[in-house]
Amino acid sequence: MTLYTTVHFHNVTAGRELEYATWFDGAHREELAKLRGFKGAERYEVAEQQIMPDILQPWRYVSVYDFETDTPEIDIPALGPLLANVRDKGLIADDSAERIYSYQLFGDWKYSPNYQPDQPLSGVSIILGNYVAGHYEEYQKWYEEVHSVEVINVPGHVGMKRGELSNYQVEPRHYCPGDQLVLCAQQTDDLLFTLRDFSARARGVSPSGIAMEPRSQTGSFARTVHYFNKISGDKFWPGGIAYGGDLSAYQQSDDE
């Protein structure tokens, strides 16, 4: 069985946010439970804090759907009619921003010692990325053996799973700017600290003394990074993993 993740970036029609949330955690979960290969789904809202604050964040919300199946050509597109129903009800904003992308994963979550299994996630970050043409194997080796370990060991980052664009997509289809998916999990009530320490480690100036390796040239700069806070199901308990302290030693930059 192979793992797949579908990310549904969207905005909600103004004034109908509660209606959408009620649908997602109620009727929608009941519908999803009937889909073959369905494993789980959570919904997130864009965070105020971003590692790349100068790039556009066109989506206020993202829903993340997980499947495990040997017949993705059947099971992945089955999500489409469920989203079409809520779209037809006018709950999804008609602003041309909605995007749905499905990825075949290389594996399940890879966790760091930061992870607390008895606590829910506080949020996720999503990278829609690319590798430099002709350097696929080098890119995968760098990400799996070096960069993923560096990222998930930053305080507040706890896990990562990655994948590549699937041959099987959910309608309506749009051009996807990122062939590679990087999904990073967080457990923190101080996301700003996490982002600043990430940036400082990437630049070799973290007060922790930890410095990341130089970014591989096999990773394309044609990428976008989006941080989201969890808003569905079990919420993160603020006493789970919390980081604070003097932030004056950190400066935010575009490093992920």
Per residue of the chain (256 residues), what is the pLDDT tens digit? 999 999 999 999 999 999 999 999 999 999 999 999 999 999 999 999 999 999 999 999 999 999 999 999 999 999 999 999 999 999 999 999 999 999 999 999 999 999 999 999 999 999 999 999 999 999 999 999 999 999 999 999 999 999 999 999 999 999 999 999 999 999 999 999 999 999 999 999 999 999 999 999 999 999 999 999 999 987 654 444 332 333 333 344 444 5
Q: Could you tell me if 1 and 101 are in contact, meaning their C-beta atoms sit under 8 angstroms apart?
A: no
pLDDT given at position 248: 38
pLDDT given at position 245: 33
Stated pTM of the model = 0.91
Strand-pair partners of 125: 184, 227
Q: Kind of pairing, strands 224-230 and 38-46?
A: antiparallel
What is the per-residue DSSP string for 52-67?
A: STTS----SEEEEEEE
* Locus of tokens 């069985």: 1
**Tell me, which fold does domain 2-230 have in CATH?**
Alpha-Beta Plaits (3.30.70)
* Locus of tokens 């864009």: 46
Gap between the Cα atoms of 31 and 241, Å rounded: 33
* Cα dihedral value 60, 66, 72, 74, nearest 10: -80
For residue 206, give both structure tokens: 């973290």
Gap between the Cα atoms of 218 and 142, Å rounded: 8
